[in-house]
Structure 1
Amino acid sequence: MIQPATPLNEKERLSSLNSIELLKGVSEEEFDNITQLASYICKTPISLITLVETEKNWYKSNHGGPSIAESERRLSHCAHAILEPDDLMEVEDLREDLRFKDNPFTSNPESPILYYAGMPLLDNNGFALGTLCVLDTKINKLNEDQKSALKALAKQVEKLFELRRKNLYLEKIKQELDDHNSLLKDFAGVVSHDMKMPLANMIITADLIKARYKDHVDEKGQEHLSNLKKSALKLSDYINGILNHYESDRIASSDLVEFDFHHLLEDIIDLMNINDKCEINFPSDNMMLNCNRSALEQIFINLINNSIKYNNKEKIVIDIESFKDENFYHFTVKDNGIGIPEDQLSNIFQLFKTLYITDRQGNQGNGIGLSTVKKLVNSLGGKISVQSVLGESTCFDFSIKKSLSL
């Protein structure tokens, strides 16, 4: 018996093998299907996907072989096969080959392995990580079609390896993004909370100065104080929007509850203190919902608030419709407001993307509210879309997935 030599690129080869992070001792159907097919095509009782490590071989898939998970590399047929990474190694009678003549697998009196054919499994850099091999307890020989099929199956194993490598990379990137977003979320929360009190003091102070020193501050000074208050209020609104956006993750994870849809809308109207210059028409058919009430409430507050703010009509009219199907609740919020230019419709759900339109007070939006709405809708398993006629109306259609318990 001749022990296998060590490849010249052994360090790089092992590094590549370890980077795939294949699970030892865990059967995976996609690999087992390939070894089963290899045995069927090659008419051999045994087929293995073997990975060659420093001291051991281990079997990612073992079809028909001994019930062992690994073997010593020095006794390995596959450790010889990877020395010629581009070629299929076939030994018709292992007893006649000096490399395997006295190998314990060959001389096993109960079930000797007498035949071996193995195709090296390569990574994208050409490093041989192991083999797809077929074995027999009798002398054998593959025909050309069987050899071609074994090579093709080995390519499929290589693709599975590369797919796993890419998935691991994507998982790593996703984790890094999640960690980064978590830090940004914490930073935004801390900064926003720390800024709210100073801004409130600025607003109050501006009002106090205007009231208490009105006889000592000229018209231009009064205008400056009004602008200061207006800027502070705008910044406060912006901060609240950021907090609501990040708070939407917590809201979206709230428990599912059963509730009356009309009651939800009535609570929202009371909360927003909507006056009689705004007419909100409920769906003609009420329905009971079983979903995340807090998230749905936040969605409607944002949409109704936008319908009121971006409206130049003397009488604001908001029509709300709803229906349900087997899997989703569907909602529509339509207003008679100023509408949205067609070339800006594709941008309205982007975070911090502001439109070139102003509300009833002449203020421009901060690009947070509708982004938060879409984030909440998506987290509830639904979709949202918008249609608008400039100067006439805007209509939001969205869905949320029903509770599985229904």
Structure 2
Amino acid sequence: MIIPDYPINEIERQSEVNNYKLVDTLPESDFDNITSLLSTIFDVPISLITILDADRNFFKSHYGIDFNETPRNTSFCSHAILQDDIFIVEDARIDPRFKDNPIIELYQTIFYAGVPLITKNGYPLGTLCIYDHKPRQLSDSQKQVLKTIAKQVINLFELRLSNRLLDQTKQELTERNNELNKFASHVSHDLKSPLANIVSLTDLLKEEKENTLTKESTEFLGYIEDSAQSLKNYIDGILIHYKSNELLNEDKDYINVNDLFKEVQRILLLNDNQLKTTVYSNQIFTNIAAVTQVLINLVDNGLKYNNKANPEVYLSFTENQKHYTFTVKDNGNGIAKQQQENVFELFNNNNQTDVKGKKGTGIGLFTVKNLVKKLGGTVSLNSQLNQGSTFTFTIEK
């Protein structure tokens, strides 16, 4: 018996084996189906998908035997991975490389044919192989069949690796997103208190030193106050955005549409002239917290960006077999047609100012779109300058 040499790139090959994580794994039907099919096609008692580990030959799938590994130094596959093409032993009993190999006597493995399973990086992980208890030969067409099926095994290996790496990436992204949420929430909370102090102290300073401050100093205090207020609005927007994702974890529940609209009115402290709606008897089953947040954002925008003497927002509702549809219509400033396409982008405020002359943060509508999308719906805008805007969004039932 001749013990096969290790490949000259064994260190790199072993690293590739470790990367694919096939050794010591549980049986998988995709691979077991292949070894079963091989035994039928070639009419052989044993067929294997093997992975050559550091000192053993692990069987990822085995048909015709009840064990899943053998020592590497007596393995036929250790010879096969040294080849670029199919490796055939017609009668191991008279082949000097295998004569006196204990596996021959123990399992009557007289005939062997194996194709190295070579990865896209050029490293042989193991083999797809068949054994017979008697000497035999393979025709050219049979050799081609074995090599073709070996390619499919490699494809399965690659797909399995890709899926595992994808799962890893998804897990990493989830963890990073969670960390980002915690960071944003923590920093936002920590910044709110000193910002509030700046605004309050600026007001006190303007009131107490009104007679001693120059006009220019008073203007500077006003700039400080405006800047602090703008930053506070950004922080509030960020907090609402990140908290909105938490709303998606809330359980669905039943609510009457009228009660939903009244809750929005209560939270925003609006009267019946500011928020108008028709009486609805519809009972809906949805994520109440998330839908409420969407409505609050849209209604608040409809009144905040509204220079009319009597600003008002009208809420309406319809439903079909698959979706609930909400409409939020205002008589506000409207949005120019060329700007409507970008209103849902993060930090895009179209340079609009609210009734207090303050620019928006561009976070609210981005949050609306994010929530609606994750609730299985869509949101759209129809608007005309100086006439108002109509936002329509759907929620999947």
Q: Same fold (TM over 0.5)?
A: yes
Conserved 8 A contact 2:315-2:326: no
Query: Higher mean Cα deviation, 250-259 or 220-229?
Result: 220-229
Q: What CA distance in whole angstroms lies between the structure 2 residues aligned with 1:165 and 1:193?
A: 42
Question: C-alpha distance in 1, partners of 2:169/2:153?
Answer: 24
Deviation, structure 1 residue 196 = 1.1
> How far does residue 276 in structure 1 lie from its aligned partner after superposition?
4.9
Tell me if 1:53 matches 2:53.
yes
CA distance in 2, matches of 1:14, 1:120: 15
Alpha-carbon distance between aligned partners in 1 of 2:97 and 2:325, rounded to the nearest angstrom: 71
Residue of structure 2 in register with 1:13 after alignment: 13
Choose the corresponding residue for 1:106, options 87, 92, 104: 104
Work out the CA distance in 2 between the residues paired with 1:98 and 1:199: 85
> How far did residue 207 of structure 1 move?
2.6
1:68-87 aligned within 5 A: 68-84=67-83, 86-87=84-85
Q: Does 1:396 align with 2:391?
A: yes
Q: CA RMSD in A?
A: 2.6
- 1:358 has 2:353 as partner: yes
Paired residue secondary structure (2:163):
helix
Q: Which residue of 1 aligns with 2:326?
A: 331
Match of 1:385 in 2: 379
2:244–2:290 contact (8 Å) kept in structure 1: yes
Compute the TM-score of the two structures, normalised by the length of structure 1: 0.87
2:138 & 2:164 partners in 1: Cα distance?
Answer: 36
* Pairwise CA distance, 1:165: 3.1
Q: 1:291 aligns with which of 286, 289, 294?
A: 286
- Contact 1:44 / 1:136 at 8 angstroms: preserved in 2? yes
Cα-to-partner distance string for 1:93-133 (whole Å, 9 max, x where unaligned): 3323222333333223xx52232211111112211110111
Whether the aligned pair in 1 keeps the contact of 2:23 and 2:53 (CA below 8 Å) is no
> Can you list the C-alpha shifts for 1:80-101, whole angstroms capped at 9, x where unaligned?
10011x2011223332322233
Q: Kindly provide the amino acid, as one letter, of the partner of residue 332 in structure 1.
A: T
For residues 367-405 of structure 1, the C-alpha deviation after alignment (integer angstroms, 9 at most, x for no partner) is 21122223333443x132323233244443434444xxx
Q: Give the C-alpha shift of residue 242 in structure 1.
A: 1.0
- Shift of residue 162, structure 1, vs aligned partner: 2.4
Distance in 2, matches of 1:332 and 1:46, equals 68
1:143 and 2:139 matched: yes
Q: How big is the shift at 1:321? A: 1.8
Check whether the contact 1:335–1:394 (CA below 8 A) recurs between aligned residues: yes
| TM-score scaled by length of structure 2 | 0.89
Identity %: 42
Contact 2:111/2:131, CA 8 A, preserved across alignment:
yes
SS at match of 2:352: coil
> Residues 345 and 386 of structure 1 are in contact (CA less than 8 Å); yes or no, is this contact kept in structure 2?
no
Question: For residues 7 and 293 of structure 1, do their structure 2 counterparts lie closer, same or farther at Cα, with a shift above 3 Å needed?
Answer: same
The answer (yes or no) to whether the contact 1:321–1:333 under 8 Å persists in 2 is no
Letter paired with 1:51 = I
Q: Which runs of 5+ in 2 are unaligned?
A: none
Find the counterpart in structure 2 of residue 42 from structure 1.
Answer: 42
CA distance in 1, matches of 2:116, 2:317: 63
The structural deviation recorded for 1:178 is 3.6
Residue 374 of structure 2 corresponds to residue 375 of structure 1: no
Query: What whole-Å deviation, never above 9, does each CA across 1:47-99 have from its counterpart, x for those lacking one?
Result: 2210000111111122x221112111122111110011x20112233323222
Which residue does the alignment assign to 1:27? 27
1:68 partner amino acid: F
Secondary structure at 2:93 match in 1: helix
Could you tell me which residue of structure 1 aligns to residue 306 of structure 2? 311
C-alpha distance 334-34 of structure 1, shift in aligned 2 (>3 A): farther
Q: Distance in 2 between matches of 1:351 and 1:194?
A: 23
Distance 1:352 1:322 in 2: 31
Q: Secondary structure of 2:391's partner?
A: strand
Whole-angstrom distance in 2 between the partners of 1:104 and 1:401: 66
**2:285 match: secondary structure:** strand
Partner-residue secondary structure (3-state), 1:265? helix
Q: Deviations over 1:322-364 (max 9, x none)?
A: 31525x4443334344343444444333333332333333322
The offset of 1:221, in angstroms, is: 4.3
Deviation at 1:134, TM superposition (A): 2.0
Of 258, 261, 264, the match for 1:262: 258
Which residue does the alignment assign to 1:91? 89
What SS is found at the alignment partner of 1:98? coil
Kept in 2: contact 1:41–1:149 (CA 8 A): no
